[in-house]
Structures are given as C-alpha cells and as structure tokens.
Structure 1
Amino acid sequence: MAACQEQLKDRVVMVSGANRGIGLQVARCFQEAGCCLALGARDIEKLEKSGFTPSDRVLLSSYDALVPGSAEKWLEEIKKHFGRIGILVNNAGVYKKVSPESENEDDLDLMWQVNAKGPWKLTRAALPLLRQDGQGRIVNVLSLSARRVKSEGTTGYGMSKFAAMAHHQGVRLAGWDDGVRAIAVCPGFVATDMAVDVMGSMPDRASSPEAIARWIVNAVTMPNDAVVSELSINPNCEAFC
C-alpha cells in the first residue's frame, strides 16, 4: 500500500454512488492513499453521514444519473473546487429483476439510464480534464453480468451491463493518445445491499466491498504501458459463458 500512496498522493478521484457499498469503500481506500475526493451520490445526506467531512480535499456533491444535467453540474463543482481530475470511478448502478418475458419495461429503462447512460454522461463530461492529466484513469465498475447472464431474471441487468462494457471498450480508444486508460472491474457477488436485492439474502460466498476497492486502488497505479483493461473478481468458480 505504501507504493500506492506515493503514486496517488494528492490526485483527485471522482466516485459516483459513493454513499454505500463498493463506492463507499473505494472512497475510503483512495482517501487512505492520500487522494483528494470528489464524491457524488443521490442520497447526499447519507453521504454526509459516511465519515467524510467537506474540506479543501473533500467535495461532496449531489449526483443522480436520472436527472438531466446532473453530470455536467457535478463536473462544474469539481472544476471550481479542484480545477483538475486524475481518476474517475463510474460506480453508481441499480438492479431490477427483468426476464425475457417481462412485460413492464420501466425497470429495463431505469437500468439503461443508470447503468449504461450514466457512465457515458459522466465520462463525456470528465474526459477533457482526464486528458490534461496525462495519466488519467477511468474505472468502470461493471459486473460479471457484463460477460454472461447467470439466470433469466438477470437478463435486463445483463443487457445494461453489456452495453456499459461496449462503452468501456470505446472509452479505451477515445482517450488512449492522451494517456487516459480505462479499466473495467467485473465482480461477481459482492456483500452489498444490491446482492440482497438479487438473491433475497446474502450469498454464502461473496467478495467484500473492501476487497474490490483494494483491487481498484492498485489497478489505477499501473503505468500507461501496462494497464489491465478488464479485471474479473469472483469468490466462486464459475463459467463465463
């Protein structure tokens, strides 16, 4: 961790969905590594109660992927507060059960807006500052559901995450010449509220949010010529297709 702290000291990290689960632990790990934090969440009150105190090194902002202009507004706040960004973590996501036979498309539309278009909007807004950094990093927290559909009820979720993976691959190309590197982190079950939403109870075996966060912090310290573009993290042995 000492090497990570040296490389990450004073870098500005932008994390969406930072008020719980993986996002909260990612924020804590980057703060431990000496980073400045730009944290966004729909539930700003919960974010304020998560142990982060606004300061010259910590900015807490309201961000909602469903609200037009929310990404741009957040970026303007970051520009005013820090004037720069080194790392963007697209973490905010939502799960709803949608099967191939589901007739109500509202939940599918919700996942499309949050899981697919949310990262697209944030990345588009943040890319100019990430290009200026020279070693900008974009971490797209996806899921193994971006690679396979585990059950018919996760079909809609998988559709949104497959789309997010396509976005990730496009972002790798978009920022490459300016030193921007994109990393897709694809966990299996993680011990969060979302896992309970999927399973109805906590899976017998699940990765901890802290473990996923540690992987993310380490991944962004890789040099421009050796970045891992996709990282699958899973406590279970399973087929990918």
Structure 2
Amino acid sequence: MTGRVALVTGAGRGIGRAIAQRLSGAGCRVALVARDRDQLEETAERCAGPTTVIPADVTDPDAAERVHAGIERSWGPVEILVANAGAGHSAKLERTTDADWQRMLDLNLTAPFRFVRRAVPAMREAGWGRIVVIASTAARIGEPYIAAYTASKHGVLGLVRSAAAELARTGVTVNAVCPGYVDTPMTGQTVENIVATSGRSPGDARAALERKQPIGRLITPDEVADAVWFCVGSGAVTGQAINVDGGAVQ
C-alpha cells in the first residue's frame, strides 16, 4: 500500500482518526476531511506519513468534487476511499421532524453516495480501488427511537451492495463496516441523551450500552480500523457488511 492515495471523511476524531492512523502507518498518503480544522491537524500529527488536511462539510453538494479535485492536483486520484463521516439522532417517531429526517439522509447516505460516485471513474480506469463505508449495526437491524438514523444506514448498505455488484469485475471493491457502540464522542452523546430522557446516571447509561454487546464492553476505534484494513487488503471481499459489534448481530 506504500504511496497509495487514501481519503478518509470524518477524520477529525474517533473512528475516522483511528482509520487514518492505520492507513498512514501502512504507507498510504492520507487526505483528512472533516469540518473542524483543529481536530484534523491533531489527527495529522498522529499519522506516520504524508497527510493533507481538507476542512469540508461533506453535506455540501460541492464538497465531493472540491475535495477530490484538490487531492488530484497534489497526489493524483483517490485509490482508497473511507466514507466515515456520520452522526446519529434519537427520538420517538412522532417527535422526529422532517428536518431531523433530512439531516440523517444528507449526512449518512447522500454524502457517501457523492464521494463514492466521484471516486469510481478513476478507480475503474486504473483497475484497482477500495471503497469502505462506515455504516452501523443499525444498517442490519431496527431498534426503537432511531428511525431516521436506521433508515439512512439501511440505505447506505444498499448503496454498498449495488456498487459492489456493478464494480465486481473492475478490480474495485466496495464494503461496509458496521460497528456497534464504539467508545467515541458520538457514543458519549448517546449517553448524554439517555441521561436527559431517562434520568439515569451517566455510568448506568454507559453500562446499558455496554450490555447491548455480548462481550460486555464498548468497541474501540482501533477495532473498527482493523476491519477497514481487512477490507482494504483483500481483493476478494466485496459487497459485504462486516459487523464489529462484539457478537450483537449474528
């Protein structure tokens, strides 16, 4: 992988930072994308090799074109795309507004679609490419109070499967990694929401999330990065949804 050009969205913290570090440590040149420049700079400092920091809001309709074009000018086409940027939302169905619904679709489904669409032509022409979308166990099952989030993640898994089928003979693989509850700021926000709505203590709320996974703990960002690296390294694995959830979904 030495010298391969990789792009990681949502690279400012959490899972995205761990993925960027893994790719960089393997010799890739890594473009780091997120909204917060300071967080991206911190990720860059932790990477072992060349990086470029590109602040961008991936929900901007022009973001995919602008980000890819900038990388191409400096390094050439993106060869490894990890679409990691995402967010969650929790509310009862009747309290989920149109704005909540649209925000989940824009960030978790439409943005990955645009980045995948922009990356594919160069990968197809080169006869090699790796696309990994960070989905969720919510792409596999439904749970209460996360209808908008679940719908967006089910949708992105459909995108992955269709793209994988279309690109199967081109040397380009497309996979999804589906984490459970990971020890990240996003899960911290989930804990805060549970505390606010249930009156539980933060410790009890966190323990409830840990119990959702048979291994009895949260997943680490590095464990998600392991699964991404597996997808990047294999040319025979495509169209898959790889669960990293401690055995919760079988």
TM-score for the superposition, normalised by structure 2: 0.85
Kept in 1: contact 2:24–2:50 (CA 8 A)? no
Is 2:212 the counterpart of 1:208?
no
- What is the correspondence of 1:1-241 to structure 2 with a 5 Å cutoff? 8-52=1-45, 57-150=50-143, 152-200=144-192, 201=202, 202=206, 203-204=209-210, 205-223=217-235, 225-227=236-238, 229-235=240-246, 237-239=247-249
Give the counterpart letter for 2:94 in structure 1.
Answer: E
Relative to structure 1, is the Cα distance of residues 110 and 11 closer, same or farther in structure 2, using a 3 angstrom cutoff?
A: same
Kept in 2: contact 1:13–1:38 (CA 8 A)? yes
Structure (1/2) with the larger helix percentage: 2
Q: Deviations over 1:9-32 (max 9, x none)?
A: 111111000001100000001111
Shift of 1:135: 2.2
The DSSP-based 3-state class of the residue aligned with 1:185 is strand
Count how many residue pairs are aligned between Structure 1 and Structure 2.
230
Of 9-18 and 130-139, more deviation after overlay is shown by 130-139
Kept in 2: contact 1:98–1:107 (CA 8 A)? no
> What is the rounded CA distance, in whole Å, between the counterparts of 1:95 and 1:198 in structure 2?
8
Of 162-171 and 22-31, more deviation after overlay is shown by 162-171
Kept in 1: contact 2:21–2:46 (CA 8 A)? no
Kept in 1: contact 2:9–2:82 (CA 8 A)? yes
> What is the rounded CA distance, in whole Å, between the counterparts of 2:184 and 2:138 in structure 1?
16
Q: Deviations over 1:70-116 (max 9, x none)?
A: 11100100110111221100100011113322252211111110001
Alpha-carbon RMSD: 2.1
